Structure 1
Amino acid sequence: MKPPEPYLARRIAPIDTWREAGHAIKVYGIHRDPDLAGPMLSDAITASARAAARAVLEGEAANDRCHGLGFCIVHVGDEAIWLLVDWWITGGIVCQRMLSAPLAQPDTFTPVTQPALACVWELVVTAHERDAWVRHMLTAKPEPAAWLHDVLPAGRY
């Protein structure tokens, strides 16, 4: 069994809020290079990820249980570009579809079929989003606008 590599922080930042398929989606970028001076995501990766997220939301998140709110993570990793599309439904449940694209073909996102949830860096975002959902939405007076503005600060995590 190959031992895990030592943990190295990665750059994580909120990128945008996309309004797609009746959903407001907070978008985060993660990059394997923590010292990257340029943009977190290229225009090609951003456009492809947005189109893939839209397709997921149109196909999977169009039902009465959806709140119309979610988040996605676009992660330029060591093995691939990962796209996690998450949306909230009633009962405090977050649903997810994971896709990936080869590093050399960032416009080719396909569904991940093997069992997977997220990597340690993506879980930083997921943990923040869980806590923000509890703070702003699982209350007597839910505040979607406050939830949308509550983003994980950019940094190395």
Structure 2
Amino acid sequence: MTFKPFAPRPTAFDGVLTHAPYRLKLWRIHLPDQPFEATRFEPGLTMALDALPRALRPGDPGLGFLIRHQGDGADYVVLGRWARENELPILVWRDLDDGWRPAGPDEFVCVWDLDVVWRERNAYVAAMLSGRSDPEAYLAA
């Protein structure tokens, strides 16, 4: 089997979305030859926000991120929220032109999403696990 050669995709940070009690960093990823269309992701974002716990649990800082990935043949929303001090539950929703739904048991994040996850991991370690526990620094990173 021959795989397509990897090529970077435009990735951008679009600010912080507040959905109390959470503050989530909003990211976008899209194909290089296509403009990003934020409105395509509204149903997926609603599903992701609805999946957040209503209250913070011990060790939950109320921080995380959302990735809107306009992919090749499907759109994805990836929700990562920091929990129990150093854990990262990740949930995925997708749209294949048949409507948004939670990802199935064989659908996961991809290599482009992992770039954002890695950035978020590094920002979280620097801001929250470095001895200073600074949510504002995490959100600004």
What TM-score, normalized to structure 2?
A: 0.88
CA offset digits 1:38-94 (Å, max 9, x no partner)? 4x2332x242233122111147x7533421100011101113111111100124111
Give the gaps of 5 or more residues in structure 2: none
Counterpart check, 1:109 vs 2:104: no
What does 1:1-157 correspond to in 2, within 5 Å? 2-32=1-31, 34-36=32-34, 38=35, 40-43=36-39, 45-58=40-53, 62-102=56-96, 104=97, 108-150=99-141
Identity %: 26
Matches of 2:88 and 2:119, distance apart in 1: 13
Which residue identity lines up with residue 20 of structure 1 in the other structure?
Answer: H
| 1:21 and 1:57 in contact (8 A); partners too | no
Matches of 1:110 and 1:30, distance apart in 2: 19
**What is residue 153 of structure 1 aligned with on the other side?**
none
| 2:63 and 2:81 in contact (8 A); partners too | yes
The CA RMSD over aligned residues, in Å, is: 1.9
| 2:44 and 2:94 in contact (8 A); partners too | no
Which residue identity lines up with residue 137 of structure 2 in the other structure?
Answer: A
Tell me by how many angstroms 1:18 deviates: 1.0
Tell me by how many angstroms 1:140 deviates: 1.8
Q: How many residues align?
A: 141
What TM-score, normalized to structure 1?
A: 0.80
Give the gaps of 5 or more residues in structure 1: 151-157
Matches of 2:121 and 2:64, distance apart in 1: 11
Matches of 1:21 and 1:56, distance apart in 2: 13
Q: Which has the higher contact order (CA 8 A, sep 6+)?
A: 1
Matches of 1:91 and 1:117, distance apart in 2: 23
